[in-house]
Amino acid sequence: MQNLLATYVHHLDPFAIQFTETFGIRWYGLAYVAGFIAAFLLFRWFVRIGASELKDSQVGDFITLCAVVGTMVGGRLGYMLLYNFDELVANPASFFNVLGGGMSSHGGIAGITITAWFYARYTKTSWTGHGDNLVVVAPLGVFFGRLANFVNGELYGRPTDAGVAMKFPNELTELEQTSTGLDWKFPTAQLREIAEKAGEAVPGLIGKIDAAASKALASGQDPHFAVVD
């Protein structure tokens, strides 16, 4: 299959506005801001239509505690515990080195879950009710985050020659890379997010994608080809 993006080598700048060589406003940070603003607006809408126990005056506090504090603290702690534990033990202050990067979606989810539980107990509201609202809002925040991952040139998939493959120079810096040159990579995380959004609009689409991938695996073919075709 001819590579539709065969001439494209990922070279996007992670900085939206850069002040120094290492400091500036990054697209990744703006993705968080966009997610928090979207969450605030959606929760206010939930309140207006009676889909949330919160009062309009409580939305700001809830988003600040659960979305901002829960996501940021949980995401950072999750990254340090899961991926950089040795450094955390050797230098606990490294937790605050946010300019060095390092966030975990797993930790963010745990952080939101825990802070929502504390908020529900403090306000005597339903934790599961808040959870119903959060699971509607969260995918939009993850979507913004995955777009930022793409800008950063990270979270790409395995080598492939599917039609949407592109090259990521960052792979040259990874220790597990042993081949010479750059392999074609499948933008897995981003395409998955697009598929999930499409699945919300087209009932049954995700099931068809899963069936095509399973059939390809059973026959020894690359599931990416089946899904893209």
pLDDT at 154: 85
Residue 179 has a CB neighbour count (10 Å cut-off) of 8
Mapping DSSP onto H, E and C, the string for 148-205 reads HHHHHCCCCCCECCCCCCEECHHHHHCCCCCCCCCCEECCHHHHHHHHHHHHHHCCCH
Which tens digit of pLDDT belongs to each residue from 24-38?
999 999 999 999 999
Q: Are strands 15-18 and 24-26 parallel, antiparallel or unpaired?
A: antiparallel
By the 8 A CB rule, do 116 and 70 touch?
Answer: yes
Give the tens place of pLDDT for each residue, 184-227.
Answer: 565 666 666 676 666 666 666 566 666 665 665 556 555 554 55
Considering the entire predicted model, what is its pTM? 0.70
Residue that the structure tokens 């929502």 belong to: 116
Task: Round to whole Å and give the CA distance between 77 and 176.
Answer: 25
Tokens read off for 111? 């952080």
d(CA 200, CA 102): 30
* Average pLDDT over all residues of the chain: 81
Inter-axis angle of helices 105-123 and 127-152, to 10 degrees? 150
Written as six digits, the tokens of 36 are 């928090």
Strand-pair partners of 17 = 25
pLDDT value at 228 more than 60: no
Give 75-102 pLDDT, tens digit per residue.
999 999 999 999 999 999 999 887 777 8
In the structure encoding, which two tokens stand for residue 154, read together? 């990270």
Residue 177 confidence (pLDDT): 47
